[in-house]
Amino acid sequence: MKSPPPDRAPDEVLLDPAIASKLSCIMRVRDIAADFDGIISQSEEVSRDVLFGYIFRYQMIREHIITGMSQPYKSRSVLVVWTADCSNLEFATYSMTDEKERS
């Protein structure tokens, strides 16, 4: 199954927040996104794409306690939700933490 990339593609049209807030599925997407651990709701970005329809992206930061490490390890991810019709939602998450950040 193909999914949108974690970063906005050049051919996607970024929607103004006022327009995005009028989408019939915006509250449903926000409610679902809020259930993800570490979601940053203020990072919401909504765009429109010919192939995927409406695309919602959210940044996520999670803290992990790892035995032997003096500080919690933080991982960064992106939650991507997309829908062609505002009724069927699809999801993907992408890890954005590289190896250098883990050491």
Single pTM value for the model: 0.87
Sketch the domain layout of the chain as residue ranges: 13-97
Give Cα 20 distance to the centre of its chain. 15
**pLDDT in the model for residue 102:** 45
Per-residue pLDDT of the chain (103 residues; tens, 9 = 90+): 699 999 999 999 999 999 999 999 999 999 999 999 999 999 999 999 999 999 999 999 988 777 777 777 788 999 999 999 999 999 999 998 764 444 4
SS (H, E, C) 56-89: EEEEEEEEECCCCCCCCEEEEEEEEEEECCCCCC
| pLDDT at residue number 48 | 97
